[in-house]
Chains A and B, each alone.
Chain A
Amino acid sequence: DIQMTQSPSSLSASVGDRVTITCRASQSISSYLNWYQQKPGKAPKLLIYAASSLQSGVPSRFSGSGSGTDFTLTISSLQPEDFATYYCQQSYGAPFTFGPGTKVDIK
Chain B
Amino acid sequence: QVQLQQSGPGLVKPSQTLSLTCAISGDSVSSNSAAWNWIRQSPSRGLEWLGRTYYKSEWYHDYAVSVQSRITINPDTSKNQFSLHLNSVTPEDTAIYYCAREELGITYYLDYWGQGTLVTVSS
A-B pairs with beta carbons under 8 Å apart, 29 shown: A31-B107, A32-B107, A32-B108, A34-B110, A42-B116, A43-B98, A43-B100, A43-B113, A43-B116, A44-B47, A44-B113, A46-B110, A46-B111, A49-B103, A49-B107, A49-B109, A50-B107, A89-B47, A89-B109, A91-B102, A91-B108, A91-B109, A94-B52, A94-B62, A94-B64, A95-B64, A97-B49, A98-B47, A100-B46
- Type the 1/0 row for B8-39, where 1 means its CB is closer than 8 Å to any CB of A: 00000000000000000000000000000100
| Smallest beta-carbon distance A73→chain B, Å | 14
Give bound CA distance, A101 to B45, whole Å.
11
Interface size of A by CB at 8 A reads: 24
Residue numbers in A under 8 Å from B102 (CB-CB): 91
Q: Which of A3-39 contact B (CB under 8 A)?
A: 31-32, 34, 36
Interface size of B by CB at 8 A reads: 24
Contact A98 B46 (CB under 8 A): yes
